[in-house]
Structure 1
Amino acid sequence: MKVNTGHLTYCTNIHPGKNWADDFKALKDNFSIIKQSISPDKPLGIGLRLSNISSLELIKEGNLTAFKHWLTENDAYVFTMNGFPYGEFHRTVVKAEVHTPDWTTEARKDYTIRLFGILQSLLPEGMIGGISSSPLSYRHWFTTTADVVEAKRKATLNIIDVIKELISIANSTGTIMHLDLEPEPDGILETGREFIDWYTDELLPMAVPDIVVSFGTSVSEAELLIKKHLCLCYDVCHFAIGYEQHAAVLRELKEKDIQVGKIQISAALKADLDQTEVQRTAVKNSFQKFNEPTYLHQVVALKKDGDLIRYPDLTPALADFEHQDVVQWRAHFHVPISVCDIGALKSTQQDIIEVLNLQKNEPFSEHLEVETYTWEVLPEQLKIPIAASISNELEWVIKSNV
């Protein structure tokens, strides 16, 4: 739906589905309830998540036409998509495989270009579209610095091919779309700093000469085209986990004219550990309840001296819970954004409020997407019917007056 600073939606990766039939059924079962609650008289956007299998099925004859007809009948529209998880995303062990295949592969490139073809067909006329994606790869798959450098090189070349495809689409049809890379814990691009450095020191030097030759542009025009079509997906949960300073990151992005294609509105878990022994035990027990086997739940611990300790999942973090220099934990578990206090734990809701206030005062993205995909693995006390849960999330954002 259109809000003061852009278009607001929720990501359909909250719905389990192995194929397009499952995805479409989940939309039919839930969307009308959500729309009636949130936007009964105005169009409501959908942040569409398609697996590779779903994308191949949707482009089959008749399926895309039927979906477009359903969107029109239900006063719905698609302006953003989640192209991060390629395969199954629920009811199976996902963990680091969420990055498979990574950006070093042709499969990831082909899948992403296919998604853009679908998005181009679905986009309302005159609207800009975006697709979020993996931060190149999972860093723990690479054992040496040389391996990481080579992975970044291969991934960057494939991303440049996608940028060139988006430039060609814009030139031939006028439709503008952007790829939004999403830094996250243990991604090759993990932080705002790493994303900005990769963008300025690796992407632009590799992409600009290619764009100049491919499209006959000047160097300055080529850089503008790259910055139009390759953006950042600002997942608030991920940036909060790393204790990043939102205003500072956004200020540097603006100074370098790097665009934020999408704000993913999401919350992590956190807790102060400099408490009494009884309170620390309650915190540990509470984190243990979130230690489920489907997704990675990376933990970043803040030490007294300001340094960070990064754990690849909750299990190794819990094994080191008695670390005496640690004063706070933040864990990668997308909890409902409308909840702040979760027993002995808290959410990083305040980070969302800060980012939405920055967006309200000086808008930096036209796309806002609530992304709380963990409904099925939430502790029971946080679960309400899924359509009501999504509606609550969207209502909470709307009340922030963005």
Structure 2
Amino acid sequence: MTPTYRTLTDRTLTDRTLTDRTLTFRTLTYCTNIHPGEGWADVLDNLERHALAVKAAFAPDADFPLGLRLSGQAAAELDAGRVAAFRDWCAEHGCHVATINGFPYGPFHGQAIKEAVYQPDWRMPQRAAYTCRLADIAAQWCPHAGTMSISTVPIAFRAGFDESDWPLVRSNLVDALTHLARLRDAGHAMITLALEPEPYCVLERTDEVLDCFDRLRLPPSLAPFLGICLDACHQAVQFETPADCLGMLAGAGVPLLRVQVSSALRARGAAIARLRRFDEPTYLHQAVLRTAAGRMERYADLPQLLATGAGRGSDDECRVHFHVPIFLAEIDGLGTTRDFLEALLPRVPAAVPLEVETYSFGVLPAALRAEPLAASIVRELTWVKELLDATHRRD
């Protein structure tokens, strides 16, 4: 039987199998790392002020999946009583936790973060301990027959990482994955860990992902618990193609656990100088320049690119890790990688959650922040839904 693809705005059905056909449901949400605040009280306040407004506008009659970002502080504050109370909150408001963002451990808004966002990385036992804590929380929110992924850093930031660090990385990953396997053996849900490749990190290109999985040599009992969170912005910055990314992962048997729906900046030739208005002090904006001759030049941050006078040739193209609203194809004379998303999303298997992740609204130029935040999020979710609906109609 052919799957019927349903988006989040369809009324939730409790039984996925009907007598005449099998229904495959698409999880579509947004990541709450867009909202500032590190403590659990901040998380709950943001959900009540923003996520419920998004649900009311986008999915008033459906159970709404939450892409929940939990910092180290919030995870530590979630005792058994708060975990149970939030489960009740979700039931009351027609929501459920679909994914957990375990990438940024510390503050993520309102101060210079840059490469500190990767700390602690997978060379450090603190990263494993934080991940295990998130898994314990997730196990209380996810139905026993369900699955949920926790996204995490791409091993470490590239600068300062050495070949000799891999044994530490493997040891800490094995500790975390063993914890996930024990939760499953104890009857809890299948909680998985999703490494998220990112420019200028140990894992940035898809071939480096495959090399990492080969090098880890995980035992069969742990291998199903580790996969990839594919961030569309990140892979577009690498000048990869959706077909190649997905094909390489599938061919190597690397699980695709989540897709983060995001878009990057792009500029050609003289327009590369216009990227200067996006040089802001909070986040790291890695850049990749492809020259007319096909040479790739990689920069850890936008100021380093701009200092080189890049764009000397009219056919030089630069892509920058700056998450911009996914529905935009152009911004003030600059392009975006929206076309990467248009090629990617129809190829993503329906069982893989889609999570819109434009966390940089707070640092966008003022002209791009004219509408209320909830309205922007709804506009992004609607763009994804309409793209997928159009694809399914063609099929």
Tell me the TM-score normalized by structure 2.
0.89
Q: 1:84 corresponds to which residue?
A: 103
Give 1:174 deviation, angstroms: 4.6
Q: 2:393 corresponds to which residue?
A: none
Q: 1:203 corresponds to which residue?
A: 216
Q: 2:173 corresponds to which residue?
A: 159
- Between the aligned partners of 1:156 and 1:290, the Cα distance in structure 2 is 37
* Deviation string, structure 1 residues 199-224 (Cα, Å, up to 9, x no partner): 02x112xx32xxxxxxxxxxxxx1xx
The one-letter code matched in structure 2 to 1:304 is A
> What SS does the corresponding residue of 1:401 show, helix, strand or coil?
helix
Q: Which runs of 5+ in 2 are unaligned?
A: 1-6, 10-23, 390-395
Q: 1:215 corresponds to which residue?
A: none
Give 1:228 deviation, angstroms: 1.7
The one-letter code matched in structure 2 to 1:342 is I
Bigger relative contact order (CA 8 A; separation at least 6): 1
The one-letter code matched in structure 1 to 2:365 is P
Q: 1:321 corresponds to which residue?
A: 309
Q: 1:219 corresponds to which residue?
A: none
Q: Which runs of 4+ in 1 moved over 6 A?
A: none
Q: Is 2:395 the counterpart of 1:382?
A: no
The one-letter code matched in structure 1 to 2:257 is G
The one-letter code matched in structure 2 to 1:72 is A
Do 2:151 and 2:229's aligned partners in 1 also have CA atoms closer than 8 Å? Answer: yes
- Between the aligned partners of 2:148 and 2:338, the Cα distance in structure 1 is 27
> What SS does the corresponding residue of 2:170 show, helix, strand or coil?
helix
Give 1:226 deviation, angstroms: 3.3
Do 1:129 and 1:177's aligned partners in 2 also have CA atoms closer than 8 Å? Answer: yes
Q: 1:185 corresponds to which residue?
A: 199
> What SS does the corresponding residue of 2:265 show, helix, strand or coil?
strand
- Between the aligned partners of 1:5 and 1:255, the Cα distance in structure 2 is 25
Give 1:319 deviation, angstroms: 1.0
**Pairing partner for 1:259 from 255, 261, 286:** 255
Give 1:227 deviation, angstroms: 3.5
Counting helix residues as a fraction of each chain, which structure ranks higher?
A: 1
Alpha-carbon distance change, 322 to 355 in structure 1, aligned in 2, over 3 angstroms: closer
Give 1:162 deviation, angstroms: 1.3
Do 2:151 and 2:196's aligned partners in 1 also have CA atoms closer than 8 Å? Answer: yes
* Deviation string, structure 1 residues 148-187 (Cα, Å, up to 9, x no partner): 1122221121111111111111111152121000010111
Q: Is 2:381 the counterpart of 1:394?
A: yes
After superposition, residues 258-277 of structure 1 pair within 5 angstroms as: 258-273=254-269
- Between the aligned partners of 1:34 and 1:391, the Cα distance in structure 2 is 6
Do 1:79 and 1:119's aligned partners in 2 also have CA atoms closer than 8 Å? Answer: no
Do 1:262 and 1:365's aligned partners in 2 also have CA atoms closer than 8 Å? Answer: no
After superposition, residues 230-379 of structure 1 pair within 5 angstroms as: 230-273=226-269, 280=270, 283-285=272-274, 287-325=275-313, 327-359=316-348, 363=349, 365-379=351-365
Q: 1:118 corresponds to which residue?
A: 137
- Between the aligned partners of 1:313 and 1:256, the Cα distance in structure 2 is 31
Do 1:14 and 1:374's aligned partners in 2 also have CA atoms closer than 8 Å? Answer: yes
**Pairing partner for 2:84 from 50, 58, 65:** 65
Give 1:18 deviation, angstroms: 2.4
Do 2:229 and 2:257's aligned partners in 1 also have CA atoms closer than 8 Å? Answer: yes
Q: 2:3 corresponds to which residue?
A: none
Identity of aligned residues (%): 36
> What SS does the corresponding residue of 2:316 show, helix, strand or coil?
strand
Q: Say what the alpha-carbon RMSD is for the aligned residues.
A: 1.6
Do 2:180 and 2:225's aligned partners in 1 also have CA atoms closer than 8 Å? Answer: yes
- Between the aligned partners of 2:342 and 2:244, the Cα distance in structure 1 is 16
Do 1:136 and 1:152's aligned partners in 2 also have CA atoms closer than 8 Å? Answer: no
**Pairing partner for 1:8 from 28, 45, 48:** 28
- Between the aligned partners of 1:310 and 1:167, the Cα distance in structure 2 is 38
- Between the aligned partners of 2:337 and 2:147, the Cα distance in structure 1 is 30
> What SS does the corresponding residue of 1:103 show, helix, strand or coil?
coil
Number of residue pairs matched by the alignment: 367
Tell me the TM-score normalized by structure 1.
0.88
- Between the aligned partners of 1:173 and 1:71, the Cα distance in structure 2 is 22
- Between the aligned partners of 2:252 and 2:71, the Cα distance in structure 1 is 33
